[in-house]
Structure 1
Amino acid sequence: MEKHGRDAVVVVSGDIDMVTAPEFEKALIAAVREQPEALVVDMTGVAFLGSAGLTALVAARQQAGEVTALRVVAKSSATARPLQLTGLDQEIPLYPTREEALGA
């Protein structure tokens, strides 16, 4: 986790599937527990986002509640499309760059 003022960034790369999602979720929940103003999940380096990864994002969103704004950097179809198809982009805003997510 990287700190950016009152915000935090978790950078993820590779595949987020049923094997890697538990570790992904653990990292997200740990970051949320620090109670940053916003948690930016930078998924620019993610090649595959499976349903287990989506579930991890939902768990982090629920844990964040009203205290921490959860934002996702997802510009490739591998990451943005699953979030859009499931409607999670309505609950967790998507941004094309980390800078835009931090500035939101």
Structure 2
Amino acid sequence: MHVTTETQGAAVVLVVSGDIDMVTAPEFEKALLAALRDRPEVLVVDLSAVEFLGSAGLTALVTARQEAGSDTTLRVVAESSTTARPLQLTGLDQEIPLYRTREEALTS
């Protein structure tokens, strides 16, 4: 798994690639919490290049959602069934809005 951070206006974008599983999820969660530390207006988590999203990765997103509170709007880019389906099956898409593209997530 690889994570890069970009700033686009008032938003911070985490671009994630590879697998998010029980081995890599702690690093993913650490990156999420680091991005939230400065309380950006919006945090977009771009999972477009993620090839596997396991339950540990979902848990990291829940933790980030809780940490964001009402200060930061959390949005996830999940265009493939690999990433969108787990979020939908667990109902997380009701708590964290899903977008098909980074552009949509940034302009909503």
- Superposed structure 1 runs of 4+ greater than 6 Å apart: none
Return the match for 2:32 from 19, 28, 33. 28
Q: 1:78 corresponds to which letter in structure 2?
A: T
Tell me whether 1:87 sits opposite 2:91 in the alignment. yes
- Is there any run of 5+ residues in structure 1 with no aligned partner, and where? none
1:78 corresponds to which residue?
Answer: 82
Q: 1:64 corresponds to which letter in structure 2?
A: A
2:62 corresponds to which residue?
Answer: 58
CA RMSD of aligned residues (A): 0.4
**Normalised TM-score (structure 2):** 0.95
For the residues of structure 1 that align with 2:49 and 2:38, how far apart are their CA atoms? 24
Any idea what SS the aligned residue of 2:39 has?
coil
- Is there any run of 5+ residues in structure 2 with no aligned partner, and where? none
For the residues of structure 1 that align with 2:41 and 2:19, how far apart are their CA atoms? 27
- The aligned length equals 104
Percent of pairs identical after alignment? 75
How many Å apart are 1:94 and its aligned residue?
Answer: 0.2
For the residues of structure 1 that align with 2:70 and 2:8, how far apart are their CA atoms? 20
**Normalised TM-score (structure 1):** 0.99
